Amino acid sequence: MCGFCGFTGELADREQVLREMAEAITHRGPDSDGFFTDSTVSMGFRRLSIIDLDAGHQPLYNEDKTLVLTFNGEIYNYRPLREELIKAGHTFATESDSEVLLHGFEEWGEKLLPRLRGMFGFVIFNREDHSLFIARDYFGIKPVYYTRLADGRLVYGSEIKSILLHPDVEKRFNPKALDNYLSFQYSVPDETFFEGIFCLPPAHFLKYQDGEISVTRYWEAVFTPDEDMTLETAVDEIDRVFTDSVEAHRISDVEVGCFLSSGVDSSFVASYFGGQKAFTVGFDNGQHYNESTYAAELAKEVGIEHYVHLISEEEYWNSLPQVQYMLDQPLADPACVALYFVSKLAAEHVKVVLSGEGADELFGGYRIYHEPYSLRSYQRLPRFLRRALAGMVSVLPHFKGQSFLMRGAKTLEERFIGNANMFTKKEKARLLKDIPATDPTLLTAPFYAKTKRQDEVTRMQSLDIHRWMVGDILLKADRMSMAHSLELRVPFLDKEVFSVAARIPVKHRIAAGTTKYAMRLAARRHIPESAASKPKLGFPVPIRVWLKEQKYYDLVKAAFTGTAAEKFFCTEELIRLLDRHFAGKEDNSRKIWTVYMFLVWYGVYFPEA
């Protein structure tokens, strides 16, 4: 894996600035660097050598050096594309997948993008018309950020921390991002926590020329369920396409390993790794927080060399500033720290790992996808009656079934904004100081509008693919692995796999009392029944327990009464949340963690504020 950065226009000491920007992302590519400058653009690159170790250096040029490329990612179908381009008359100087992008762009222009199978962010500079072409992969596995300066110049990079080193980029906090973050627990693309710096959305390309920017979508993940598809056909198709995807994702000139938990997704991936290495982490807080025993049993069954690390409380808490620095933006998903440590463990042994991200979104794996079925009978009651019941119970102390009555009174669009829903608009209004609280459904409505004729489970999956997966799942996958110069590949997030997943009817996704039913049946052909049928847990992290310990209560309370907290929040409300959790009256752990992670991040990126 690699990282790139760059900017347009003239700048004093631009070579030095470019090097400093590239050095900020050395973790993305510690093996080598490369630079290109002319009167129009300055391009920097850091390389992690995976394919064509000796000759795949960047920036890379076409035959007449009219095009210049920097590329982060892997193109898994580069060999057939290369053969097609050679037949069309192109001459290759390397065996790398990177060069396929150059000649492919020469041959097909932007129509190259739908031909690619892989994960990518890349930049091509045309030295003849002085234009830049920047593209991001279908699902947003690899990141791309950019900002346009007041005079029209462009600054871009794989990570925001690189962009911030440009002397004409003013580091300004974006308060709107905090409002959205408190709802979703992540920064909602395309905006970032830095005013004026944007995330290029997945499946989009950006064109820049003469100070003007245009952003265009070239592909979209759309579910088209085939109601006539039998369960047997669904299972066969999943087995076939996933096996093909894993084989494609294992293409490398260095050793490839895998992550392994006790769940079906990573177990399915690991089943293809007999005789190779797998990596697991857990916590020393009881069996609920340590799945390494289950993982070890599967590793033995499959014949994998298995490595385990148990994360201590001190390790976890001490890592938080570094984790938030690597993320660029605050993320309140406690599992991202676990991913940081399993990546660190894996990087001691291999350069590339495969992981199970994306299976839940594509095949219907989250437990919340059961909700349309569990609410169905209740929602036959008149809506006004359900609304009245919800209003009455909302003011009562928490009791079992309260959430059911309140959520059942809402439409899907009102109740589901994704896999995380931290603070309501009313809660944010009580919490925030001088920042307007907005309704998070404003950010999900456009996606729901596109799927209004589909079933509720499919609509939930579609929303998660476009919001949750990009803002949380793939952000932490990229940053936590790259923090240790480890390339993480995700074979479920392959466009060929999606083409199968998109056609599977909901009756084969949510069935027999479980989620991603058809995928589990496909996995059962490769892994033990116990792993294939294991309920979805996520990655359990004991923050609920820790926040009831005096030392961590005191640590968080100090942050909640600090200068940064006073600047953005009504601290009395923060302390109320913390105290009620500490006393065992409410489980406020996720809300507390959401605010605390923001304050940790803010202290890293705005220490002077």
Catalytic residues: 2
Q: Which residues contact 185 (CB under 8 A, 6 or more apart)?
A: 331, 332, 333, 420, 422, 472, 590, 594
190 preceded by cis ω (within 30°)? yes
Collapsed DSSP state (helix, strand, coil) of residue 291: coil
**Are 568 and 599 contacting, i.e. CB atoms less than 8 angstroms apart?**
no
Dist. CA 282–CA 306, nearest whole Å: 13
Exposed (0-12), middle (13-18) or buried (19+): which is 218, by Cβ within 10 Å?
Answer: middle
Collapsed DSSP state (helix, strand, coil) of residue 147: strand
Dist. CA 1–CA 489, nearest whole Å: 10
**Are 335 and 423 contacting, i.e. CB atoms less than 8 angstroms apart?**
no
Exposed (0-12), middle (13-18) or buried (19+): which is 276, by Cβ within 10 Å?
Answer: middle
Dist. CA 502–CA 510, nearest whole Å: 14
- Output the six-digit token pair for 441: 């459904």
CA distances from 14 to 18, 39, 127, 148, 391 (A): 6, 11, 18, 17, 61
